[in-house]
Amino acid sequence: MIFSRDVGVATKAKNLNIEYNKQARTIMVEKSTIKILVLDDEPFILKLLAHMLTSLGFNQVATCDSGRGALERIDHPNSPPDLILMDLNMPEMDGIEFVRHLVERRYTGSLILISGEDERMLQTAEKLVRAHKIPALGHLRKPVNPEDLFALLEKWTPPCQRGSLAAKNAYGADEVRAAIVNGELVNYYQPKVDLVSGKVVGAESLVRWRHPQDGMVFPDQFIGVAEEHGLIDDLTRAVIEQAFAQVKTWQDGGLYLHIAVNISMDNLATLEFADYVAAAAFTAGITPDSIVLEVTESRLMKDLSAPLEILTRLRLKRFCLSIDDFGTGHSSLSQLRDIPFDELKVDQGFVHGAAGNDTLRTICCASLSLAQQMGMKTVAEGVEDQADWDFLRSTSCDLAQGYFIAKPMPAGEIPDWIIAWEVNIENLMKSPGVR
What one-character-per-residue DSSP string does 263-284 give?
Answer: EEGGGGGSTTHHHHHHHHHHHH
Give percent of the chain above pLDDT 90. 68
Which of 373, 390, 392 minimizes the C-alpha distance to 428? 390
What is the 3 state secondary structure string of 349-360? HHCCCHHHCHHH
- The confidence score (pLDDT) of residue 390 equals 94
Q: Are strands 83-86 and 320-326 parallel, antiparallel or unpaired?
A: unpaired
Residue 48 pLDDT exceeds 90: yes
Confidence band of 402 (pLDDT split at 50, 70, 90): very high
- The confidence score (pLDDT) of residue 329 equals 64
Confidence band of 431 (pLDDT split at 50, 70, 90): low
Q: What is the pLDDT of residues 157-179, one digit of tens each?
A: 887 655 544 456 789 999 999 99
**How many CA atoms, within 13 angstroms, populate the side-chain half-sphere of residue 435?**
8
Which of 214, 145, 146 minimizes the C-alpha distance to 176? 214
- The confidence score (pLDDT) of residue 12 equals 43
Q: Give dist(CA 203, CA 295) in Å, integer.
A: 15
In this prediction, residues 337-349 reach a mean pLDDT of: 91
Q: Where are the beta strands (DSSP E) in 175-269?
A: 185-194, 200-211, 215-217, 258-264
Range in 25-39, 71-85, 280-294, 358-372 with the lowest mean pLDDT: 25-39
**How many CA atoms, within 13 angstroms, populate the side-chain half-sphere of residue 373?**
7
Range in 93-102, 150-159, 348-357 with the lowest mean pLDDT: 150-159
Residue 15 pLDDT exceeds 50: no
- The confidence score (pLDDT) of residue 302 equals 58
Which of 43, 82, 27, 87 minimizes the C-alpha distance to 60? 82
Q: Give dist(CA 27, CA 13) in Å, integer.
A: 18
- The confidence score (pLDDT) of residue 208 equals 97
- The confidence score (pLDDT) of residue 317 equals 96
Contact, 391 vs 361, CB < 8 A?
yes
Reduced to 3 states (helix: H, G, I; strand: E, B; else coil), residue 74 is: helix
End-to-end CA distance of the chain: 43
Range in 29-33, 103-107, 197-201, 302-306 with the lowest mean pLDDT: 29-33
- The confidence score (pLDDT) of residue 6 equals 40
Q: Where are the beta strands (DSSP E) in 352-432?
A: 377-380, 399-400, 409-410
Q: Give dist(CA 377, CA 399) in Å, integer.
A: 8
Average pLDDT, the chain: 87
- The confidence score (pLDDT) of residue 433 equals 56
- The confidence score (pLDDT) of residue 168 equals 66
Q: Which domains does the chain have, with CATH numbers?
A: 6-164 (3.40.50.2300), 173-428 (3.20.20.450)
Query: Who contacts 198 (Cβ-Cβ below 8 Å, separation ≥6)?
Result: 425, 428, 429
Q: Give dist(CA 414, CA 412) in Å, integer.
A: 6
- The confidence score (pLDDT) of residue 333 equals 82
Confidence band of 330 (pLDDT split at 50, 70, 90): low
Give percent of the chain above pLDDT 70. 87
- The confidence score (pLDDT) of residue 79 equals 72
In this prediction, residues 354-378 reach a mean pLDDT of: 94
Q: What is the pLDDT of residues 232-287, one digit of tens each?
A: 999 999 999 999 999 999 999 999 999 999 998 889 988 999 999 999 999 999 99
- The confidence score (pLDDT) of residue 341 equals 92
Residue 301 pLDDT exceeds 60: no
In this prediction, residues 318-346 reach a mean pLDDT of: 85
CA 342 from chain center: how many Å?
24
In this prediction, residues 412-420 reach a mean pLDDT of: 96
